[in-house]
Amino acid sequence: MSYRLFLCLWCALAAPAAVSAQSESDASAPRPPVLFDLGVRLLGADVYLGYRGLTVPPNPDTILWVALGGGYEWLNYFRDPANHLYTGGGGYTPDDTTYDRINGRFDLGIAQGLVWNERLKFNLLEAFLFYKMRVDYVVNNPAKQELILDSGLPDAAGLLQNSFLIGMSYNDLDKNDPHWKLSGVYAELSAEWAPEFFFNYSWGRADFVRLNLTAKGFLPLFDIDPSAEFNLLSAYLGGFFSVDWCGGTSIPINVQQSFGGLRGRQGLGYAVRGYEDARFDGLFKAVVNAEFRLNLPQFKIIDVFTPGLYVFFDSGYYNYIYYDEQGFLFSSGAGIYLNAWKLTTFTLYVVAPFNHPLIDGTTWVHIGIGLDAHF
């Protein structure tokens, strides 16, 4: 695993991640017509470009979006050939749950503001519609017996997936504080539809509907010197909630292992920290994350860096629906982070999974790393 740690460190120090021009820019600064967002993977990236030059405030923005990205990924699959949760044995080793994948994606969409956020100078209430295309190719490793390739699923070796995403979002999340105290609320409701007839049968197969509700919010607690140029000591609370359901005649692995929406994430493992990424997947999932973040004194080397400490509690629920596979996950931990202003946040934490051992038998505290804040 040392090479993955090296890649995480390299990406955290060398590449910007999740730079949202719409939500993180200074509300008093001139409004650029082009929005740029960059998401970093361990070995790859997703580039988002938006154009909002069609409208002039205080009219709500009309934004045309295009996203293009890809990467080489190290992933997990925790189901046996009968499609039940893999818990060990059966001629497989814990290493057989891992696999490599090459992924590419392309999104094209429009977001139409319905209500203007006068305080933050972007859309408060927004409707959106996207066409989403993704290509997955699973890299066969003949040195091991990979569970995903033994699954017999239509998309086990690869997938071409086309879908439509429609929804609404509410955005009153302020990320402009120079001391890096987040405040406000963001919420999103969406539906994704990938019918088989929409070219979802040429490689692999997809035929599903997914519903998702996601919300997050932040509450500043204190700032001992709010007028200082650089933060001395400040703190805030954060919370995240998501619930996700999918159904259909052919639900791809990537859908079962993730939460949907504009910016989905793996789950239930990963969404609940301390468990393997994408383990405890299902057709219905829900997660709640709670964090206390303490920003330590900032320092400047080319840009402003904000170190900090945080503690968290995660909980979630998964249900495969078709089988009697359901349950809750709980974990808690603490860590440190280093945020480069408008760049990535590198996190290092220790976490204790409460009610399930890892697939290798680990039952207590272990170390995790991340390229960005969890939410």
- Please, what's the b/e burial string for 119-154 (b: 16 or more CB within 10 A of its CB; e: otherwise)? ebbbbbbbebebebebbbebeeeeeeebbbbbbebb
- pLDDT-wise least confident of 50-59, 105-114, 322-331: 50-59
* Band of residue 56 on the pLDDT scale cut at 50, 70, 90: confident
pLDDT at 244: 98
Residue 300 CB burial class (10 angstroms; 0-12, 13-18, ≥19): exposed
pLDDT at 27: 58
pLDDT at 3: 37
Residue 74 CB burial class (10 angstroms; 0-12, 13-18, ≥19): middle
* pLDDT, mean of residues 217-235: 97
pLDDT at 327: 96
Task: Give me the CATH code for the 2-370 domain, please.
Answer: 2.40.160.50
Max Cα–Cα distance, the chain, nearest Å: 63
* Band of residue 29 on the pLDDT scale cut at 50, 70, 90: low
pLDDT at 5: 39
- Would you state the structure tokens that stand for residue 30, as one six-digit string? 């001139």
pLDDT of 174 strictly over 90? yes
pLDDT at 18: 34
- pLDDT-wise least confident of 43-47, 112-116, 337-341: 337-341
Q: How far apart are CA 276 and CA 224, in angstroms?
A: 38
Residue 354 CB burial class (10 angstroms; 0-12, 13-18, ≥19): middle
Count of Cβ atoms closer than 10 Å to residue 350 Cβ: 13
The three-state secondary structure class of 11 is helix
Q: Which letter does DSSP use for residue 255 in this model?
A: H
Do residues 285 and 268 touch, judged by C-beta distance below 8 A? Answer: yes
* pLDDT, mean of residues 318-327: 92
* pTM higher than the cut 0.75: yes
pLDDT of 24 strictly over 70? no
Greater pLDDT, 316 or 31: 316
Q: How far apart are CA 13 and CA 76, in angstroms?
A: 26
- pLDDT-wise least confident of 39-43, 344-348, 354-358: 39-43
Enumerate the β-bridge partners of residue 246. 210
- For the chain, give every domain's residue range: 2-370
pLDDT of 218 strictly over 60? yes
Please, what is the average pLDDT of the chain?
90
* Band of residue 16 on the pLDDT scale cut at 50, 70, 90: very low
- Would you state the structure tokens that stand for residue 112, as one six-digit string? 């139409």
pLDDT in tens, 88-139: 888 899 999 999 999 999 999 999 999 999 999 999 999 999 999 999 999 9
pLDDT at 26: 57
Do residues 121 and 61 touch, judged by C-beta distance below 8 A? Answer: no
Do residues 65 and 50 touch, judged by C-beta distance below 8 A? Answer: yes
With vertex at residue 220, the alpha carbon angle to CA 263 and CA 39, rounded to the nearest 5 degrees, is 25
* pLDDT, mean of residues 10-14: 37
